[in-house]
Each structure stands twice: as C-alpha cells, then as structure tokens.
Structure 1
Amino acid sequence: MLLNTDVKQRGGGAALRRTAGVTFAASLTFEEIHHHYNGKETIRGISLEARPGEVLCLLGPSGSGKTTLLRIAAGIESQTRGRVCIDGREMAGPQCFVPPEKRGVGLMFQDYALFPHLSVLDNVKFGLTALPSSEASAEAMVALERVGLAHYAQKFPHALSGGEQQRVALARALAPRPGVLLMDEPFSGLDSRLKDSIRADTLDVLRQSRATAIVVTHDAEEAMRMADRIALLSNGQLVQLGKSQDLYRKPRSLFAAGFFSEINILTGRVTSGRVQTPLGACDSGTIADGQEVEIAVRISSVFVRADGPGVPARIITRRFLGVVELLTLAVEGLDEPLRARIRADQLSEGLTDVVVNVAPEDILVFEKHS
C-alpha cells in the first residue's frame, strides 16, 4: 500500500513530512499473565487488551512490571503462565511460542538502539530484509518522510540530535507497517524542553499510521497527553484501567490518586456516613460506619486566602516557582504540614496567618488497608 503524497511543512526549515499510510491495526491481548524472575513474581495475573488503532499507556513506577509486560508482548521475554494473543491468534502460551520477528510487532527501545556504523537510511532499512534492496530503500525513505527526516537519510546517528534520533527510531519501527507498535519509555532521553513537541509529533504519526501502540512510561502527565486509555500498574498488578479523566477524577486507591497528582494524606473514621477532618467533613461513599479511612486532598485543591470563612492556618514555608507558589501550612489537628499549590502573587509578601478551604468533592476517601 502506497502512502499518500500530502506533505506538511515543518517549522524552521525545508524538511517535509509525508502523511503516513494506513496500517492494518491489530489487537493485542494479555490473558492472566504471570512472570517470575530469580524466584520473584514480577507479573501477577495481568489481563489486558490493547484495542485496534488505540494508544494504550502502561504507567507505573520502577519495578511495577510495565517493561516486562512489553517484552513479553514482543517475544523477548517469556511469561511463566498465561497467553499473549494478537488479533485472537495465540503468540505465546502453554502450547505455542511465535518468535519476535514473526509476530508483526514493531519495537522501539528506550535508548533507540541505532547502529552507529549505518546511515540513517540503512538503520531504517534494517528490518525490511524480506524486500529487495531497492524496494527496502524506497520504503525506508517513505518512513523517514513520515517523521520529516528524509533529508537526513545519508547522515549517521552521531550527527543527529536526541530528538532526531528518536524520530529515526520511530521510522525504523514503523517501516515494516506493524499491526502493533511497542514503545519502551521513548521520550525519557530527551531534554525536557523538547519532550512536548516530540511527543506531539510522535502522536501525530501514530494517529496517521493507525497502528495499535503500547507505550511504557513512568510519567503520569505523559500518559495523559498520549493515551486513549491508561493501564496503571503497581507491584506486577493492574491497579486501574481507563481514560485519563477516569483515573484522575475517580481513582480507586490512594496509590492511584497519588500517582496522578501530589496529595496530602489524612486519616479518619466513618461515622454516620461522614468523615470528619480538620479541613471539614466529607461523604464516605460506600465505606461502612466504623471503618478507618485514608483521605487524599490534592495540593492544587487547597484554596488559601488572606481572610474570610475557612479553616485558620499559618504559612510555614513559601516557594515561588514562576506561575505558581508552593506553600506548607500548619493547621490545627493535622500532624503533618498541609501542602498547597496556589497562583503566584495571590498572597501578599510577609503574610503568615491565612485561611484554607477545600471543596468536599475534592476530598477523596479510601478504605484503609493494614
């Protein structure tokens, strides 16, 4: 299938980007995946599906199992139990193991894994061994045009910036038109100032190519920027799956709440369907009376004013960060200082005594587990 010939002018130069052609997107399914390493269980019964054409982010801290799950999908690692299927066809299971090169997946490594002795064009051609050389070169050029780097075809990786190397790695992964693209922390090596634009470019290419993409990241904001759905992992288990709005607004655990935003943690007990806190009372939801609970209050949900109705507080520290200020506050009844993120210059310099308010809907209540 040929790519169409529409091009986009990239800012700041003559580099043109060809619109990506359509890939036949595949689904990828994990069924009750378990994995052990050196006697330790690293994946604990994860079941999960990446739908055709969607971007699914595997999100979690180091050691949560997200990269291991990606490697199992690629065929680089073998699960202890469970099945991996692509479009319903078993790739790895009790009776079957399809090698990586026959799974129809593309893999993009964290360090890009470009060959320093090969030109950019030859790096992208590397996975096109089934084609005659001339056809492989043509397909590689098309892939480079997708990412706006056709003019760098004869250069070597060392002559490219980190962002350009990332786009070459993306072109190489997409060149064989995989039904599923697996990306392991693809932006971790980039300068923070470049990440936003490179992420946007990458997402644009993924949307055009329509390949199913599974992206590993430890950055919640990055996951929210890119993903159609997010799978949040912890300690080898699937904690929560859904759209970014669902995970942010309706976290199912204190861990999930804290992974998507900085929080203050309080404790309390349910009485008559309510929880009393030093910041006010809130509804306990479905948690039964008498239960101990943990309460999460996002630091961005703490409103601080010079005066008016609210809970009295005293400013302990104040840090100016440009657009916002970070405050720590002493509040009667709280063992730890309360943290708040407020708009910069909202409070006058030298102010110490203030009042704080938190909307009841911004107080998240979770059953306390021992």
Structure 2
Amino acid sequence: MDDLSAAVASAPAVRAPPELTIVVPTFNERDNIRPLLGLIAKALKGDSYEVVFVDDDSQDGTLQELQSVARSDPAVRYIHRIGRRGLSSAVVEGMLSSSAPYLAVIDADLQHDETLLPDMLAVLRGGKADVVVGSRYVEGGGMGEWDASRQFISRTATRIAKLIIRAELTDPMSGFFMLTREAFAGAMRNLSGQGYKILLDIFASHSSTLRLRELPYEFRTRQHGESKLDALVTWEYLMLVADKLFGRLIPVRFLMFLIVGGLGVFVHFGVLTLLLKGLNADFQASTIIATISAMTFNFFLNNLLTYRDRRLKGIWRITKGLFSFYVVCSLGAVANVGVATALFDRDYVWWGAGLAGVLVGSVWNYAATSLFTWRQKK
C-alpha cells in the first residue's frame, strides 16, 4: 500500500453531506437554542440534516451558546453577521451557505411546529411540490393565542400579498416552510431582501409558478425572549410589496428616501411658521433653524426606516452620521438651486426648472448619504 492509500485508509470517516439544511435566523434567542435543537432532533430522527443559525450580532449570550453547541454537534453551524440586520437577508445567507438539496426555515422562538418537518421533507422527496408551507389558515391550523387585532393585521397583510403573487397561498406571512434548492435558485437573484417575509419574497421573485403544498399547524406561544415584531415590521412589509410593484422603475430605498424628504418639508414649514408667526423671529434666522430642523428630522427618520438594515447606533456614530448628513444635504441644496437657476435663465418654464433642481438635489442626497452616511459595511 502506497503512502496516499495508507493516508486515505487511516483518515477518520467523513460525515455524509446533509440532505436538508434548516436555517434559523436569531437575534437574542439564547434560551431557545438548545430546546429548539432537541425538538428538531426528535422530529427528524434518522434523517440527514444540519441546522444553520444566522445571528445578527446578539448581545444576550446567544453567540456563546451557538459556539458551545457547534463545537459539540457536527450537525450545527452558525453564521455571525456584523453590521447587517434583517430576517430575510439572514435566511438567504443561510441558504447560500448550504449545498443541501432541500432547505427549510423555522423561527428560533419555538412558535412553529417542528413535527411537520418530516412531512414537509416527504412531500419534497416525492416530487409533489416545490415549496411546502406551514399554514395557520388551512383547515386544522390555528393562530394560537393571538388577539383579534393581531389576527386582523395578519389577514389584511395576506390580502395585500395578492397584489404581487399569483400562488394560492393561504398564509404568505408564514415564516415556516421548506423548498427545493432549485426553487430557491429560481428566485434568489431577484429577491428584494426587504423585511421579514422571505416566503412572500420568494414567490414574488421566482421566474415561474411554484408548485405549492400547505400543511396545517397551530401557532404556539413564545416561551423565552422577546418578540421582534414591532410597528416598523408593517413599514418593511409595505416596502417589500412596493419593491415588487415598482422596483423595476425606481429603487424602493430611494422611494423611502423621497417619502421621508417629503415629510421633512412639512417639518421645515412648521418650524418656520412657529418662529415667524409665533415668536416674531428674524426671517433669515428662522429659515436657517427650520432648515437644520428638517435635516435633523430627515436624518433620524431615514436612520429608523430607510436604512434600518444599516442603522447607526451609539452617540459617536450617530453624531458623525448626522454631521455628514448635514454636509451632503447642504451640497444638495446648492445643486438644487444651481440647476434650477441655470434652467430658468435658459427660458425653461419656472416649475420645470424648479422640479429639475429638486430631482437633482434628491438624487445627490440619496446617492451621497448612501455612500458616506450609511455606508454598507464590507
């Protein structure tokens, strides 16, 4: 036996690649990690699978828990993301990190019914569907302890989803599903990555109609940690829908930037009116204060909404970002006036010249703040 053959013969057995990858996005879910893994192991006993946690830089000990588990269990991996946030993008990264033919998504909060995983896998193995969705709305499913208002919001969001998908999904808001790698590959280059509803994004982004199967499950109550749902989730959901409706014409982030800018106009005139009419202040001073107030309002609202996935945190980063926003928008105002004046002097109609100036200033502000204020981390 030559040296190479001897080395191969003496090498430890290599673990077979998993048939199924289960992606679990996490953010501050320390106490749910081991219980979830135990439930998945029990449900998929005898199946070849791996669990890939994608963590958005948790600060509650989740990362330390994931490190501990991954060192002792070869079926567990994790991806630590810094400077990036969002469930949809986390799911995409987890799926791209895998070579398994089947891919599943389940929340870390134990609210999904992991006992459905074998049934989902069986449907895909049999070639009967491209995507299998755990649904709360088909017969046998349920919303658990959700109150009437939360159920109303969910059902309204389901109706809105019909604007961008053709599939007869009863629960497009579901975060519990399984699909083939081919189904994911057909959508991944067109995904918006907006918000939390990755299933809806996949159906709206796919180049063809996906074969669908829905299985009922009862939504559970969270046992540990805090819910990540807040009022901003509704905004992100609407932006996902807007991206699919208008994204080919105008980037949805630019649309959000314009909406915030429009609100800033109201802030500007509100402050100006208060200073001039309420306090009898000097016009020039009032205009400067109103302009700075509107810029400050726009910065913080953009930080909260438009660039939520790149949100600046901490006194130093916020102060630095605010200063760069002031500088960029000041230059944008100069560009606005310069373009409008130049066009007006060339006998363009006044409103056309003004609109061109606003457009140039807005594009400059958006592009420059994306580059300098909310720069994407590498």
Verify same fold: TM over 0.5.
Answer: no
Higher helix share: 2
Q: TM-score, normalised by structure 2?
A: 0.26
Q: TM-score, normalised by structure 1?
A: 0.26
Higher strand share: 1
